[in-house]
């Protein structure tokens, strides 16, 4: 190895290869605990993107609320239309029934006139 070659050429004391640094397990009492480092600065582009995302979220929530309101109004309108349709069908049924009774009366009157 290179270290071995240097020992032979110079005749100097052997060079120690660097090993792992010695770990000092004792904590001096005067050392204060380290505070967390302040967060890195946020770039203006990041702030613009965040504002845009927040604005889009607000717009989406507003659209969703509008759609829910429209859906509710449509359901109310559907119920009203179904109720009106039921009333119309009932009125038609009564009218047909009255027409049937009226036809029977007319036939009876015609027959009574023919007999007389």
Greatest alpha-carbon span in the chain: 159
Q: Alpha carbon of 72 to those of 59, 77, 81: distances in Å?
A: 20, 9, 14
pLDDT at residue 13, as a whole number:
55
- Integer Cα distance of 19 and 1 in angstroms: 16
- Integer Cα distance of 102 and 85 in angstroms: 25
Q: How many CA atoms lie within 13 A of 84 on its CB side?
A: 6
pLDDT at residue 113, as a whole number:
85
Element (H, E) at 106: helix 44-115
pLDDT at residue 1, as a whole number:
46
Handedness of CA 95, 99, 105, 109 (dihedral sign): positive
Helix, strand, or coil here: 22? coil
Predicted TM-score of the model (pTM)? 0.46
pLDDT at residue 45, as a whole number:
92
pLDDT at residue 25, as a whole number:
60
Question: Mean pLDDT for each 10-residue chunk of the chain (116 residues)?
Answer: 52 56 58 75 89 98 98 98 96 90 87 81
């Amino acid at each position: 190895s290179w270290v071995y070659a240097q020992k032979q050429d110079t005749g100097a004391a052997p060079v120690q290869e660097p090993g792992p640094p010695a770990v000092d397990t004792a904590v001096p009492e005067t050392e204060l605990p380290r505070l967390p480092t302040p967060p890195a600065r946020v770039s203006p582009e990041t702030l613009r993107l965040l504002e845009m995302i927040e604005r889009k979220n607000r717009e989406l929530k507003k659209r969703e609320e509008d759609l829910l309101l429209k859906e509710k109004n449509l359901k109310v309108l559907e119920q009203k239309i179904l109720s009106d349709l039921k009333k119309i069908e009932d009125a038609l049924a009564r009218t047909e029934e009255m027409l049937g009774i009226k036809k029977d009366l007319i036939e009876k009157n015609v027959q009574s006139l023919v007999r007389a």
